[in-house]
Structure 1
Amino acid sequence: MRLPAKLTACILATGALAACATTDSAADRSTASAGSATELGTPYASTYRPYPGRPTALVGATVFDGTGGRIDNGTVLFRDGKLVAVGDASLSTEGYDRIDGTGKFVTPGVIDIHSHLGDYPTPSVDAHSDGNEATSPTTPEVWAEHSVWPQDPGFSRALANGGVTSLQILPGSANLTGGRSVTLKNVAARTVQGMKFPGAPYGMKMACGENPKRVYGGRGRMPSTRMGNFAVNRQMWLDAKAYDGEKRDLGKETLKGVLDGEILIHNHCYRADEMALVMDMAKEMGYKVTAFHHAVEAYKIGDLLRENDVCSAIWADWYGFKMEAYDGILENAALLDQAGACVVIHSDDENGIQRLNQEAAKAQAAGRRMGMEISDGDVIGWITLNAAKAMGIADQTGSLEAGKMADVVLWNGDPLSVYSRPEKVWIDGALMFDALDRKHRPVSDFELGQPGEGDVK
């Protein structure tokens, strides 16, 4: 039979979540804070509001808290969107809905620091290719959020298969300066503003190495070499430092935000020598690199990365697909960890984002084969707290600590096992995915199809 029109509209607006049954409608959530935020002068401000949840107690599970800690037979309490307490079986669960986690595992929500969901959505067709403004070597004026398609089916797959609760959407790497990134909560919403992580700082995507010189060198203009890359970048920063703001310039506004420490630099870079040069350029121009992304040779300069407080967002085993990736090794993450540097496992891929837990486990296993033992608790931090730190949101999420957002995953087994997957996922304390309940499996509008074309079974 056909669904009633009112119910159909609710499903289309919220991604088929059970929250449709509440009085807090998607329309209410997406508009409630827009006026006040815009009045404060924030363009395209977040209008995100959490879905409604219930006081919940996860009991009996093995808990990895994201900070390296492990609690066997643990208890996790959350209500009103926040974590209340994390501890052992002695915690009182009175007033909470109890969920038995015996034999299961609990972690913070998984965070992907490097994603292109929404900007390069699936289906992967030219009409959806909106991640690279490949018209100039430097495009700091563009914002990734203005390309994000909230209906991308990749969002719900990352939630259901990977336990991803937050993610950073970056422009592509064709340009030396690709533009602003945006951090999202992985929830169904009609607009990108309805997904924007409240209070998250912007990032700015930069790239070095082969991509910019390949894209622009063939057009007979700079950069066509690595020295050309640096020359164009340095001149860009010099021009930005001279910007007085009298005549508005969108690109220089972003660059000024970087120089003022308000916007974080996420730099696509593979070779160790180039990463060292970029850190020197940052000191020369007065900004800081927050994270090198891909960073397949980061293991060669772990000490420099540690001393400069720069994270390495890396794959577990991608290497050799172009010359600057030739020296990538499986032990990259483990060697960085041993050097005391910040390790983040990222995806850069609509499929990889669904198995960041497995990618982290592969990197851990490579280290173990080399004689480096890294605890499971620390490895979970590679896909939770470390990512949050590099994205500037660690004060709000990334670990299971009282007062933080209740972004929580209940896994049906060891999250570092290829056989395990999320059983339930909460975002701000609201149950957003439940493998055991079809009412809590979000589906994008794109996948639902056109209303009225046939019966809903």
Structure 2
Amino acid sequence: MSFPRLLPLSVALGLAVLVASAASGEGRKEVRDKENPSAAPADPYPSTYAPYPSRPTVIRGATILDGEGGRVENGVLFLSGGRVEAIGGPDTPVSGDALVIDGSGKFVTPGIIDVHSHLGDYASPAVAAHSDGNEMTSPVTADVWAEHSVWPQDPGFSRALVNGGVTTLQILPGSANLFGGRSVTLKNVPSRTVQGMKFPGAPYGLKMACGENPKRVYGARKQKPSTRMGNIALDRQTWIAAREYQKKRAAKKEQTRDLDMETLADALEGKILVHNHCYRADEMAIVIDMAKEFGYKVTAFHHAVEAYKVADLLRDNGICAAMWADWWGFKMESYDAVEENIPLVHGAGACAIVHSDDENQIQRLNQEAAKALAKGRRLGLNIDEAEAWRWLSYNPAKALGVAERTGSLKPGKMADVVLWNGDPFSVYTRPEKVWIDGALLFDANDPARRPVSDFELGQPGEGDVK
């Protein structure tokens, strides 16, 4: 596949998806409950994602980190039909007509998955007109969907791909509200529409927040919540209402559609995964108890600066912690941090994730993981690099409900792959090639495969720069 430069990038790259979608007969599907015509469609904004064209490819001679703790020296990775076909040592059988890439002295990993991003909702440049991530009009806005704000041509997407090897990411609403709305999981591919990026079949998320943000935003307006106890009280009141809505829906009683309650009822039933912005250990423990009170499950605590204090609770309740390597001290609830947070959570047997929450940091998540790995080793937690890569691919895939399909290099999984020009835990290393579903979308050595947004100037030969 070539990237023609006579057309804007989003249009040129969209043509392959358009053709593939037409060929597959993909279209808009709305499934309603015949006995309850007021029921919501299964997904009124369905994914139209279709992989870009690919060819059988073999990467030979690289060190492979498979994303689940496995490491193969002088390895072979065979990609075919958009999937991982085989992985193993030098004698791994491959197709004779495959393109062979020499990976000697280089590393291969699964594509990085960022579980916490606002790309598209807070697009570049960061001006007020692009601030579409926080619906700060009510502490409960479970009715809003992050995908309805995503601008697919945000230059941040291509930067994350080219500089950071990010192949999948979750776009979340902001954290001003107790219930911020639905998140969406995207494949990091150029597209004209957000539906063309939506990870097919990935569950939606529900963004919740505790702590300083909701009480500061709404307390300043002299309304509830203005305290942490007000946060929890309003959370509980809202879950009680959602339970009643859920019961009526299950009984197929006719009722007016309520977009807040539809999202919350699905979260109660595990159809939507709960992602909770939370810094302090005591608040994470309270939220865990609240989840048990109402029968839902927290999938992941985000930011989780004090996760090291409750790593055993996270482990025992099957909750991931999405964390920074060393961001702290920018507000009171982020002060009691330790730079060993990520390795301590990992060492306790809980699910540790490195996340960005930032359009710049998403471009170097491998380096953020390296910092955490070094701090853990200084503490005496000798975590292997192959095991630490779980923080960047497999664990976030698990938190997004897509670990059976991506996040590690296992036969049958999506061929979301990065070839690094050196050790990916080094500050001197960058992605050399990036595949998504087996399609080569970035090649540092090929100017025609360096996707940039139509709204970002690049080097000569990129975009519209002559």
TM-score bracket, shorter-length normalisation: over 0.9
Distance (whole Å) between structure 1 residues aligned to residue 320 and residue 190 of structure 2: 30
Q: Distance in 2 between matches of 1:61 and 1:96?
A: 17
Deviation at 1:448, TM superposition (A): 6.1
Counterpart in the other structure of 1:254: 263
After superposition, residues 66-81 of structure 1 pair within 5 angstroms as 66-81=67-82
215, 221, 226: which is aligned to 2:228? 226
Match of 2:29 in 1: 37
1:154 to 146, 152, 156: 156
CA distance, structure 1, for counterparts of residue 69 and residue 256 of structure 2: 49
C-alpha separation in 1, matches of 2:258 and 2:12: 37
Residues of 2 paired with 1:76 and 1:455: CA distance? 35
* Residue 171 (structure 2) pairs with residue 173 (structure 1): no
Give the distance between the partners of 1:115 and 1:455, measured in 2 at CA.
28
Q: Residues 89, 179 of structure 1: CA spacing in aligned structure 2 closer, same or farther, 3 A cutoff?
A: same
Residue number in structure 2 paired with 1:91? 92
Shift in Å, 1:28 = 2.7
Q: What residue is the counterpart of 2:35 in the other structure?
A: none
Amino acid at match of 2:241: D
The C-alpha deviation readout for 1:326-376, integer Å capped at 9, x for no partner, is 101100011111111100000000000000000001000001111110000
Shift of 1:455: 8.2
Measured after TM superposition, the shift of residue 233 of structure 1 is 0.2
Provide the rounded CA distance (Å) in 2 between the counterparts of 1:38 and 1:99: 43
Structure 2 residue ranges without an equivalent (≥5) = 33-40, 250-254
Corresponding position of 2:9: 11
Whether the 8 Å CA contact 1:218–1:224 is kept in 2: the answer is yes
Question: 1:164: how far off?
Answer: 0.2
Aligned equivalents of 2:98, 2:241: Cα separation in 1: 57
Q: Which residue of 1 aligns with 2:292?
A: 283
TM-score normalised by structure 1 residue count:
0.94
In the aligned structure 2, how far is the partner of 1:393 from the partner of 1:14?
29
Q: Is 1:345 the counterpart of 2:378 in the alignment? A: no
- Rounded to whole Å, the distance in 1 between the matches of 2:382 and 2:5 is 52
In 2, the alpha carbon distance for the partners of 1:455 and 1:114 equals 31
- Number of equivalences: 441
Structure 1 residues 175-204: Cα deviation after superposition (integer angstroms, max 9, x where no partner): 000000000000000000000000100000
Q: Is the 8 A contact 2:211 2:278 kept in 1?
A: yes
- Find the residue that maps to 1:275 and give its secondary structure: helix
Report the CA distance between 1:25 and its aligned residue.
Answer: 2.9
* Cα separation, partners in 2 of 1:67 and 1:91, compared to 1, 3 Å: same
SS of 2:78 mapped into structure 1 = strand
Q: How far 1:37 moved relative to its partner?
A: 3.2
Q: CA deviation at 1:228?
A: 0.1
Q: Is the 8 A contact 1:34 1:46 kept in 2?
A: no
- Residue number in structure 2 paired with 1:25: 16
Q: Per the alignment, do residues 226 and 455 of structure 1 end up closer, same or farther by CA in structure 2, a change over 3 Å counting?
A: closer
Give, in whole Å, the separation in 1 of the partners of 2:132 and 2:191: 19
- Residues of 1 paired with 2:5 and 2:464: CA distance? 14
Alpha-carbon displacement from aligned partner over 1:402-438 (angstroms, at most 9, x marks no partner): 0000000000000011110100000000000000001
Aligned to 1:251, the other structure's residue is in SS state helix
Partners in 2 of 1:272 and 1:12 — Cα distance? 44
Instruction: Give deviations 1:85-114, integer Å, cap 9, x for gaps.
Output: 110000123221100000000000000000
Q: What secondary structure sits across from 1:25 in the alignment? A: helix
Aligned to 2:280: 271
Structure 1 residue 30, shift from structure 2 partner: 5.7
Secondary structure of the corresponding residue to residue 447 of structure 1: coil
Residues 9, 128 of structure 1: alpha-carbon distance in 2 compared, 3 angstrom cutoff: same
In structure 2, how many angstroms separate the alpha carbons of the residues matched to 1:9 and 1:70? Answer: 42
**Cα distance in structure 2, aligned partners of 1:26 and 1:314:** 34
Identity of aligned residues (%): 65
Structure-to-structure mapping, 1:107-118, within 5 angstroms: 107-118=109-120
Gaps of 5+ in 1: 1-5
Looking at structure 2, the residues matched to 360 and 62 of structure 1 have their Cα atoms a distance apart, in angstroms, of 18
CA contact (8 A) 2:9 2:451 kept: no
1:369–1:455 CA distance, 2 compared to 1 (3 A): closer
State the partner residue of 1:126: 128
- Alpha-carbon distance, 1:74 to partner: 0.3
Looking at structure 2, the residues matched to 385 and 298 of structure 1 have their Cα atoms a distance apart, in angstroms, of 19
**Which residue of the partner structure matches residue 413 of structure 2?**
404
CA contact (8 A) 1:34 1:45 kept: no
Moved more, 208-217 or 330-339: 330-339
Residue type of the partner of 1:323? M
DSSP-derived class of the 2:27 partner: helix
State the Cα distance separating 1:8 from its structure 2 match. 2.9
In 2, Cα distance between the equivalents of 1:197 and 1:221?
38
